[in-house]
Amino acid sequence: MEYNKPQIITFDKIGSSQLGYITIAETQKNVPFEIQRVYWTYYTPHDVTRGGHAHKELQQIIFAVSGTIVFNTEDKNGHKETFTLDHPTKGLYIPKLVWRDIQFSHNAVLLCLASELYEEEDYFRDFEEFKKAAEER
Ligand code: TYD
């Protein structure tokens, strides 16, 4: 698999409908980077759009461990895609330099595995600034 564009990775599940399921993410096994940070978001109202940024270096894999989360992405070449996370086995891999807007169902819990510690300097929060810098890379 080539990790240079946003893509859904389907993680294996172990279990059964009788017993329930477990899904595992492991550095270098099914996660193509060293996991440095994990965060989760919850209780986002349905009418709120989060995201609105891109990262300079950060790689992420994002799960909807509950509910449904829709990502609208735009890469540095202006290529736009929509990804729907509607099952706990689906992880969205997002490389660096991808703008994203995110919408949540009322019960959604977003879990993010991140390749770097939090650094505000790693964010593009201005779309025009992102497009301009991305063209130069
Ligand atoms: P942000 O990444 O903008 O969230 P979203 O894309 O979900 O809208 O982060 C929201 C706020 O949380 C912002 O003030 C930065 C802060 N934050 C941290 O302090 N550490 C972190 O690891 C993350 C992801 C965010």
| CB of 91 closer than 8 Å to CB of 9 | yes
Atom of ligand 1 nearest to the CA of 117: 22
Q: What is the pLDDT of residues 29-67, one digit of tens each?
A: 999 999 999 999 999 999 999 999 999 999 999 999 999
Q: What is the pLDDT of residues 99-116, one digit of tens each?
A: 999 999 999 999 999 999
Which residue has the CA at smallest separation from atom 9 of ligand 1?
Answer: 51
Burial 10-28 (b: 16+ CB within 10 A, else e): ebeeeeeeeeeeebebeee
Q: Which among 36, 49, 50 is the best mutation to test ligand 1's pocket, defined by most ligand atoms within 8 Å of the CB?
A: 50
Beta bridge partner(s), residue 114:
37, 60
Atom of ligand 1 nearest to the CA of 100: 6
φ, ψ of residue 86 to 5 degrees: the values are: -135, 15
Active site residue ranges: 53
Q: Which among 39, 48, 56 is the best mutation to test ligand 1's pocket, defined by most ligand atoms within 8 Å of the CB?
A: 39
Q: Is the CB of 50 under 6 A from ligand 1?
A: yes
Decide if pLDDT at 1 tops 80: no
Decide if pLDDT at 10 tops 90: yes
pTM to 2 decimals? 0.96
Which residue has the CA at smallest separation from atom 1 of ligand 1?
Answer: 51
